[in-house]
Amino acid sequence: MLTLITASIFASVTALIGVLLYPLLSRQESVRQRLVKLAPLQEKEAPSLVPAPTRLQKLLAEVGNKLQTKPADLRIYRETVTAAGFKKEAVYIFLGAKLFLALALPAGYLVFFALPRGTMASSLSFLITAICAIGGYLLPTIWLDHRAKVRKTAIFHALPDVLDLLTVCVEAGLSLDAAMIKTTENFQQKCPLITELNMAILEIRAGRPRSEALKGLAERTTVDDIKALVSMLIQTEKLGSSLGKTLRIYSDSLRIKRRQLAEERAAKTAVKMLFPLTFCVFPAFMVVLLVPAFFKILKMFKH
């Protein structure tokens, strides 16, 4: 009986303490759960302005930095790298990649093809090894030039449309900075020109003068029409002339230039089609016409 009374008193006191402490414990638990839910969201939404380079990129940059490159060649490589959409510092990764491929491709051929067949000492293996080394050294340059050309073409074709939207914003009463922001917000974000405009806007917000930010935009794109546009904007700002009218005239001239380039390419199509027609279509056409006649003439002479 005493044991039952003791157990009842213990259970009652425990239940009373639990009832008194429940609000405090439940509040701490709810706060902890909310913090756990918010923590991954904060990590996910944390902005990353400059992505961290990988180990391979760091290794290639170290190798490229140690190469003895002429200043003129380094300047040309740097311009090509920026025109392709990369940072200027990526030029050392590019140089490291050239050296890496120039060594990796011949080594791969010797290890996986020449060595198993026992033809490492042959003249053909030496020739193929030299071709692989030269090809590995030139392959990054070819790829980078192609990427820069494609990007510059995309910027040139998007420039008139971007200028039209910028003109509408300026004529609506917005300043040039606000018009650039509104243009980047209402244009397709995958366009390389919009990416460069966003970078120029960030530089202006960070305190860089607008003229220097626009000049940086022209240097990164390496497009002559962008350079002319930047010079026109700086001159218009200094002279105080009508910005909307200037932008409209320049966009119309760019659209005419784009149409003329399309007409020029269409006119060159006839000349480019001459070689396939001469060496591919006409021989097959002559075979179709002359072979049946040849067999008929052959049958006539047999009889």
Mean pLDDT over 15-35 rounds to: 57
Summarize the confidence of residues 247-264 as an average pLDDT: 88
Residues 107 and 187 in one domain: no
Question: 105 and 124 share a domain?
Answer: yes
Please write the tens of the pLDDT for every residue from 112-164: 888 888 777 788 888 999 999 999 999 999 999 999 999 999 999 899 999 99
pLDDT band at 287 (very low <50, low <70, confident <90, very high): confident
| Overall number of domains in the chain | 2
Task: Give the end of a domain, one of 149, 171, 186.
Answer: 149
Shared domain for 135 and 182, answered yes or no, is no
Are 140 and 184 in a shared domain?
A: no
- pTM (2 d.p.): 0.71
Are the C-beta atoms of residues 105 and 135 closer than 8 Å to each other?
yes
CA distance 227 to 218: 5
Question: Domain containing 182 — which CATH number?
Answer: 1.20.81
Residue 13 reports pLDDT greater than 60? no
Report the pLDDT value the prediction gives residue 101, as an integer from 0 to 100: 92
- 243 and 229 in a single domain? The answer is yes
Mean pLDDT of 4-13: 58
Q: Which of 101, 134, 149 is the last residue of a domain?
A: 149
DSSP 32-95: HHHHHHHHHHHHHT---SSPPPPHHHHHHHHHHHHS---HHHHHHHHHHHHHTT--GGGHHHHH
Do both 201 and 231 map to the same domain?
yes
pLDDT band at 44 (very low <50, low <70, confident <90, very high): very low
Q: Looking at the chain, how many residues does it have?
A: 303
β strands within the chain, DSSP E: none
Residue predicted with more confidence, 207 or 21: 207
The answer for residues whose C-beta is within 8 angstroms of residue 242's C-beta and 6 or more apart is 236
Quick check: is 127 in a domain? Answer: yes
| Same domain membership, residue 157 and residue 137 | no
| Residues above pLDDT 90, as percent of the chain | 30
Domain boundary among 89, 121, 149: 149
The answer on 252 and 157 residing in a single domain is: yes
76 and 145 assigned to the same domain: yes
Report if residue 74 sits inside a domain. Answer: yes
50, part of any domain: no
For 59-115, write each residue's pLDDT tens digit.
Answer: 888 888 888 788 888 899 999 999 998 988 899 999 999 999 999 999 988 888 888
Which structural domain range is residue 67 located in? Answer: 55-149
Question: Same structural domain for residues 132 and 182?
Answer: no
Q: Place 43 in a pLDDT band, splitting at 50, 70 and 90.
A: very low
Q: Is 292 inside a domain boundary?
A: no
Residue 198 lies in a domain: yes
Does any domain span residue 184?
A: yes
pLDDT for the residue numbered 42: 42
**Burial environment of residue 169 by CB neighbours within 10 A (0 to 12, 13 to 18, 19 or more):** buried
Does some domain include residue 102? Answer: yes
Residue 195 lies in a domain: yes
Dist. CA 219–CA 231, nearest whole Å:
12
Is the same domain home to 167 and 212?
yes
